[in-house]
Amino acid sequence: MHQTKSLWVITWLVCLSIACQQPKSSTSNTSPQTTTPTTTIDTTPKVHEIVISGTEEEGNTTVTYEGETEDKPTALSLDSISPPNIIILLPDDLGWNDVSYHGSKISTPHIDQLAKDGIELNRFYTYHSCTPSRVGLLTGRYPGRLGIRHVFFPEIKGGLPEAEETLAEFLATQGYKRRACIGKWHLGHSNVKYHPLNQGFTYFYGHYGGSVDYFEHKRYEKLDWHRNFDPSYDEGYSTNLITREAVQFIEESPTNEPFFLYLPFNAPHNPLQAPEEYLNQYGFDKNKAIYSNSEIIASKITEHFQRGQGNTKRQTYSAMVSSMDAAIGRILQALEDKGVADNTLVIFFSDNGASETDGGNNRPLRGKKGSTFEGGLRVPAIVKWPNGFTGGRKEETVMGYVDILSTIRGILNVTTPPTQPLDGINVFPILRGDTTLTDRTFYLSKLGLTTQKWKLAHNKLFDIENDMSESKNLAKKEPKVFAKLTAQLKELSSQIEVDSIPIDRSYKLKDEWKMQDN
């Protein structure tokens, strides 16, 4: 026990020292440099070519575009940077092959533009399912450390513990007066103590649980749509409502103080429902039958779900993604119109990989949502902040969801220790191009971890740098690497994973998903 605790303290100190590492160009840097290997990142324009082996339906696709560094705004010096507005765009269950910049047939021009203007994070990892991924994002800690490895379904009591300091609570201490959560919460609905407004946010609009009907805003026949603590009877497609609120929030924010806008879209998670104008983009034929979704019928939440269904799952899913892409375009345009785009840090990533039974596609990655193979947790991810770092490139360094909080702490130059030890590191120096980190071990779940070169998943070893599809298990060919990583995983897992919080399925939903206040 004592040894385990000592190891944990050492691990944390190492993480903290990396997290506190300042970029080389910082004039106020007084913290010691770590021994992390440091090299210069090549920022010359690159030609990216991705070949995706598609399904029979989609065929193979080759996408080529040239990184354009010469026309990009140049990042400011660190001394000139002021705290940025922060927007987190978090699609739900968007797969690797569901954005056109990865070669998908799904059209996502606004997300593609964000990738061209910002930095593509090519090795960005999350947890492999919705709730734990949001826990890691908002606390900067592995969800296993909190005993949360499950999803807060409607009948489950519990939520994100109040003792955890969320990103919103942290930003409240840093002069961010306006902190909105607009979209899908999914971090507890059985008691008002789990409400976003009691977890650091100053404004909430959207739904508490998952799988809400996109048009009726119901789950289990009860309205799950809210503005702050009150039910909302707003009508419309949820992606559009979320977007309207987000744009309004941006428009109403004063320009002389930074805001935080957390936008967890419910799209393109099931139920699969899309506006007809977007279905039409994908060849929707009203006179043909709509698809039959047996899983949704089995889950007893059927009666409203006919609306917005296309002829096939993939068609419907594609339309949902394009609708969300248009929404993202409107939100980014609102930043431009307000004149605050240059000093807004935009973070985009999917909360986990796609569920391929629900229309998504992770190709050429192996596995899907729920798996520690790449398809479950290596996600499309982009960051953009014109004042903070130069865009137009692709970053290969391993990073992930638990790094967001540490990175924002680094950007704001906060050196006071966090209330709880964080698992993430500050990747801002990497985004600045001032350093690289090549020897990181990133813990994924009890079943896997990854380094820059090697990935251990489901008791198999892959050269992930050269085999992103995890097609060749090298456990026997590289027994020493396999043994080392297996031992590392065992050690990390014993340090990180605590017993699950008791999963109590006795919660009876109140009308309009009203949270209990005692």
Nearest to Ca ion of 323, 397 (CB atom) = 323
CB of 468 to Ca ion, least distance (A): 21
The gap from C-alpha 15 to its chain's centroid, in whole angstroms, comes to 21
Among 104, 316, 352, 452, binds Ca ion (CB under 5 A): 352
Q: Residue 178 phi/psi, 5° resolution?
A: -110, 115
CB of 427 to Ca ion, least distance (A): 23
Nearest to Ca ion of 212, 489 (CB atom) = 212
Q: Residue 216 phi/psi, 5° resolution?
A: -90, -15
Residue 511, amino acid = D
Q: What is the DSSP string of 153-217?
A: -TT-B-BS-TTS--HHHHHHTTT--EEEEEEE--SB-SBGGGSGGGTT-SEEEEESSSS--TTT-
351 lines the binding site for Ca ion (CB under 5 A): yes
Q: Which of 102, 110, 186, 269 is catalytic?
A: 186
CB of 149 to Ca ion, least distance (A): 14
Q: Which of 130, 189, 226, 269 is catalytic?
A: 130
358 lines the binding site for Ca ion (CB under 5 A): no
Stretch of residues binding Ca ion (CB under 5 A), selected from 88-96, 300-308, 338-346, 434-442: 88-96
Asked if residue 133 lies in contact with residue 127, where contact means CB atoms within 8 angstroms, the answer is yes
Nearest to Ca ion of 183, 433 (CB atom) = 183
- The count of C-alpha atoms lying within 13 angstroms of the C-alpha of 345, restricted to the half-sphere facing its C-beta, is 23
Q: Is 186 a catalytic site residue?
A: yes
Q: How many residues bind Ca ion (CB under 5 A)?
A: 5
Contact mark string toward Ca ion, 37..76, x via CB under 5 A: ----------------------------------------
CB of 398 to Ca ion, least distance (A): 21
Q: Residue 14 phi/psi, 5° resolution?
A: -65, -45
114-133: contacts with Ca ion (CB under 5 A): 130
**38 three-state secondary structure:** coil
Nearest to Ca ion of 120, 351 (CB atom) = 351
CB of 142 to Ca ion, least distance (A): 17
112 lines the binding site for Ca ion (CB under 5 A): no
Nearest to Ca ion of 351, 374 (CB atom) = 351
Cβ burial of 242 (10 Å; 0-12, 13-18, 19+) is buried
Residue 87: strand pairing partners: 261, 346
Stretch of residues binding Ca ion (CB under 5 A), selected from 98-106, 194-202, 279-287, 347-355: 347-355
Stretch of residues binding Ca ion (CB under 5 A), selected from 79-87, 147-155, 239-247, 349-357: 349-357
Nearest to Ca ion of 130, 331 (CB atom) = 130
| CA pair distance 191, 212, nearest whole angstrom | 19
73 DSSP 8-state letter: P
The gap from C-alpha 61 to its chain's centroid, in whole angstroms, comes to 25
92 lines the binding site for Ca ion (CB under 5 A): yes
Asked if residue 279 lies in contact with residue 315, where contact means CB atoms within 8 angstroms, the answer is yes
Nearest to Ca ion of 137, 430 (CB atom) = 137
CB of 196 to Ca ion, least distance (A): 17
155-184: contacts with Ca ion (CB under 5 A): none
Stretch of residues binding Ca ion (CB under 5 A), selected from 150-158, 180-188, 350-358, 359-367: 350-358
| CA pair distance 80, 68, nearest whole angstrom | 24
Nearest to Ca ion of 92, 434 (CB atom) = 92
93 lines the binding site for Ca ion (CB under 5 A): yes
Stretch of residues binding Ca ion (CB under 5 A), selected from 146-154, 293-301, 343-351, 509-517: 343-351
Q: Residues of 348-385 as b/e, b for ≥16 C-beta within 10 angstroms?
A: bbbbbbbbbebbbbbbbbbbbbebbbbbbbbbbbbbbb
Phi-psi region of 334 (alpha: psi -120 to 50; beta: other; left: phi over 0): alpha
Which stretch of DSSP H or E encloses residue 110? helix 109-117
CB of 228 to Ca ion, least distance (A): 24
98 lines the binding site for Ca ion (CB under 5 A): no
345 lines the binding site for Ca ion (CB under 5 A): no
Which stretch of DSSP H or E encloses residue 88? strand 85-90
The catalytic site residues sit at 130, 186
- Which chain residues interact with Ca ion by CB under 5 A? 92-93, 130, 351-352
